[in-house]
């Protein structure tokens, strides 16, 4: 009976996953291994001869990598805006330092290629890195990965927990600074009412006044007496008109100078005007500009703001729409339903998962990964399965749409695919590595552990010094950059719990793709140098 169960791949797989989650939830002084515990349970099962097939592991790895790329794509290509350049540089310093330390450990302890590559991936807790190491150097890389991994998890958590105390930083003050910077970069969009009193604009058409161009604000409606009027290009302003304007505080200062008296309170909508919100889910609208819809002329409707990823954007005619954008609309009641049908407004589509983009994206990633670039007779480079799938997903996610295919996934679908893929991958590599783990540890275990210790610790110290003294990076951004550069999800959880600011997770998401891609490249280069 027991032998029959242990020979069942399905039974063994889910027992390993279940036990991994049980072990992962055990808290020791606030520290948990979370999903990472699956690999340690798998190592134990592997030691006793249980193996999860490699096909399942490769399948899981591709799902995991693709889901990460789709989620991080837009953030990856916006990294070099604002402070993203500094964060990406610190993450790059961290990964490159880790690669240099790994090479130093190789020459100190005489590690082979698989040990060195596995240590580098394990010390930075990178499962895609492990996949790359295994692909290049073989399954033995998983053994050194498993030895370096524990301190890679625990070391990052302890480092981020202790860092504010060591540097004597008040995280509340750091949060206040970040909030001030965010408001400056993405100012709130607010509505205000005005009365037309400026004689210079009385009797002039809106197209001649060019309020949007001159102020950055948008007129949503005009109240003339008891009549509510939707603004058009040929609408002529009259003295005493009350207008509702939506824009940033800075744009409102310009509006006040241009229009006249600011009013208190709300303007009534009138009998035939209403405000609605709608979601962009129509496939044909993705990547089209807002101006190309010509909503004002066709539907007597005005877009007053666009909300994307928690940020309010000004509805400029040149703004390209993305799947899932939330539009605030002001228009006539009898045409509003037509506008909502035009943009889609299908909440179900946001949560549904279309597997066609997933299948096409992974297939394309496999092709990209097999492309080999020869720089000389001795140096040939390819991204491999992991790098190919990751880079393909990053590009496709940033593009957003290709023909009829929308390269996106709902947050819940992405989380499910990423988690499932990671569990399959960890179960496979753990059982494969567990077969030779004890013997390897007997021969060189302590040296591997020491090597992993330094590969984890030294890069974080170097990155912290560069971030604080070269780039003057905010402490919360630094915590996110460190955990993202170390590709440490448990580290992120620890750092995120230290403040109610979203800055940690934003920084993590910004640098994670950079660190992931760079680490894959570094593992390939280190393997070639050592091999």
Domains of the chain: which residue ranges? 2-180+355-530, 186-349
Q: HSE-up of 216 (CA within 13 Å, CB side)?
A: 14
Comparing CA positions, the residue from 260, 244, 263 lying closest to residue 191 is 244
Phi/psi of residue 260, nearest 5 degrees: 140, -135
31 pLDDT higher than 70: no
Query: Mean pLDDT over residues 1-20, rounded?
Result: 86
User: Quick one: what percent of the chain has pLDDT higher than 90?
Assistant: 28
How far apart CA 424 and CA 153 sit, in angstroms, is 20
Please, what is the Cα angle at 177 between 172 and 179, to 5 degrees?
Answer: 90
By CB atoms closer than 10 A (0-12, 13-18, 19+), residue 200 is exposed
Could you please state the CATH topology (level 3) that the domain comprising 186-349 is classified under: Alpha-Beta Plaits (3.30.70)
Query: Mean pLDDT over residues 195-219, rounded?
Result: 91
How far apart CA 522 and CA 61 sit, in angstroms, is 19
Residue with tokens 């998983």: 142
How far apart CA 220 and CA 212 sit, in angstroms, is 11
DSSP 375: S
Query: Mean pLDDT over residues 317-323, rounded?
Result: 88
Beta bridge partner(s), residue 332: 273
309 pLDDT higher than 70: no
Comparing CA positions, the residue from 455, 451, 447 lying closest to residue 519 is 455
Distances (CA, A) of 505 to 89, 409, 439, 477: 17, 19, 40, 9
How far is CA 494 from its chain centroid? Answer: 18
pLDDT tens for 226-244 read: 888 888 888 999 999 999 9
379 pLDDT higher than 60: no
And the tokens for 320? Answer: 């390209």
How far is CA 57 from its chain centroid? Answer: 24
Beta bridge partner(s), residue 247: 190
How far is CA 10 from its chain centroid? Answer: 32
Distances (CA, A) of 406 to 279, 306, 415: 15, 20, 18
* Contact yes or no for 93/462 (Cβ under 8 A): yes
* Contact yes or no for 75/463 (Cβ under 8 A): no
pLDDT tens for 355-378 read: 899 999 999 999 998 887 776 555
How far apart CA 156 and CA 141 sit, in angstroms, is 21
Confidence of residue 292 (pLDDT cuts 50, 70, 90): very high
Comparing CA positions, the residue from 509, 483, 427 lying closest to residue 61 is 427
How far is CA 350 from its chain centroid? Answer: 18
Confidence of residue 440 (pLDDT cuts 50, 70, 90): low
Other CB atoms within 10 A of residue 167 CB = 11
């Amino acid at each position: 009976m027991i032998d029959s169960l242990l020979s069942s791949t399905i039974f063994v797989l889910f027992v390993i996953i279940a036990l991994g989650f049980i072990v992962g939830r055990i808290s020791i002084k606030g520290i948990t291994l979370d999903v990472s515990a699956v690999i340690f349970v798998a190592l134990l099962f592997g030691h006793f001869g249980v193996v999860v097939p490699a096909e399942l592991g490769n399948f899981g790895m591709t799902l995991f990598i693709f889901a990460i790329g789709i989620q991080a794509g837009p953030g990856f290509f916006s990294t070099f805006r604002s402070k993203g350049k500094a964060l990406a540089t610190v993450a790059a310093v961290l990964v490159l330092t880790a690669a240099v330390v790994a090479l130093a450990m190789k020459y100190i302890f005489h590690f082979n290629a698989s040990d060195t590559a596995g240590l580098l991936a394990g010390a930075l807790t990178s499962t895609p890195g492990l996949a790359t190491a295994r692909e290049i150097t073989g399954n033995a890389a998983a053994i050194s990965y498993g030895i370096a991994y524990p301190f890679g998890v625990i070391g990052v958590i302890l480092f981020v927990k202790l860092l504010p105390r060591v540097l004597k930083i008040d995280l509340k003050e750091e949060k206040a600074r970040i909030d001030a910077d965010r408001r400056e970069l993405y100012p709130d969009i607010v509505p205000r009412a005005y009365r037309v009193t400026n004689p210079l604009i009385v009797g002039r058409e809106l197209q001649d006044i060019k309020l949007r161009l001159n102020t950055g604000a948008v007129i949503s409606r005009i109240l003339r007496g008891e009549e509510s009027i939707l603004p058009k290009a040929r609408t002529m302003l009259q003295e005493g008109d009350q207008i509702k304007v939506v824009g940033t505080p800075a744009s409102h200062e310009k509006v006040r100078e241009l229009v006249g008296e600011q009013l208190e309170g709300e303007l009534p909508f009138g009998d035939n005007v209403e405000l609605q919100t709608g979601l962009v889910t129509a496939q044909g609208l993705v990547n089209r500009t807002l101006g190309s819809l010509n909503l004002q002329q066709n539907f007597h409707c005005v877009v007053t703001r666009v909300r994307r990823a928690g940020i309010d954007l000004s509805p400029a005619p040149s703004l390209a729409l993305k799947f899932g954008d939330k539009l605030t609309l002001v228009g006539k009641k009898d045409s509003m339903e037509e506008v909502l049908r035009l943009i889609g407004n299908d909440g179900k589509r946001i949560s549904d998962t279309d597997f066609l983009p997933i299948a096409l994206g992974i297939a394309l990633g496999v092709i990209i990964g097999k492309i080999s670039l020869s720089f000389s007779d001795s140096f040939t480079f390819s991204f491999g399965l992991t790098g190919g799938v990751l880079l393909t997903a990053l590009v496709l996610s940033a593009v957003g749409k290709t023909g009829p295919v929308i390269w996106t996934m709902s947050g819940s679908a992405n989380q499910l695919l990423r988690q499932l893929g990671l569990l399959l991958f960890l179960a496979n590599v753990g059982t494969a590595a567990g077969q030779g783990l004890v013997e390897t540890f007997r021969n060189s275990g302590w040296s591997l552990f020491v090597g992993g210790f330094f590969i984890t610790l030294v890069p974080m110290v170097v990155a912290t010094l560069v971030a604080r003294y070269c780039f003057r990076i905010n402490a919360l951004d630094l915590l996110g950059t460190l955990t993202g550069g170390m590709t440490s999800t448990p580290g992120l959880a620890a750092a995120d719990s230290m403040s109610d600011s979203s800055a940690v997770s934003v920084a993590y998401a910004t640098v994670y793709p950079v660190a992931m891609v760079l680490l894959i490249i570094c593992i390939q280069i280190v393997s070639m140098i050592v091999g």
